Amino acid sequence: MSGRDSFSNLSYHVGGDWRTYCHTYPDRAPIFAISAGRSAVTISVPGRVADEAAVEFARAMVLDAQTFAAEMERRYVVQALGG
């Protein structure tokens, strides 16, 4: 962790009207966005600088997203089988 303070805390319950996308730029860090209905959240890093802490965060976000997807898939199968 870089020691820079993060800001914001929210809960986002996503229904069927979602989309995700990543805005990339040739000269600054990307912006990841999640949109659902008429609300959206964007994720980037302070100063839009791709430093070591930003790379660490991005990798952690991917790993946690993979865990989230695997758990959703597992729950879907359990529910589909009537469990």
Reported as a single tens digit per residue, the pLDDT across 48-74 is 889 999 999 999 999 999 999 999 999
Provide the domain limits for residue 49: 18-80
- How many residues belong to the chain? 83
Domain membership of residue 44 (yes or no) is yes
| pLDDT-based confidence at residue 5 (cuts at 50, 70, 90) | confident
Domain membership of residue 6 (yes or no) is no
Domain membership of residue 23 (yes or no) is yes
- How many structural domains does the chain have? 1
CA dihedral 31, 23, 60, 53 (to 10 degrees): -50
Q: Using the 8-state DSSP alphabet, how is residue 22 labeled?
A: E
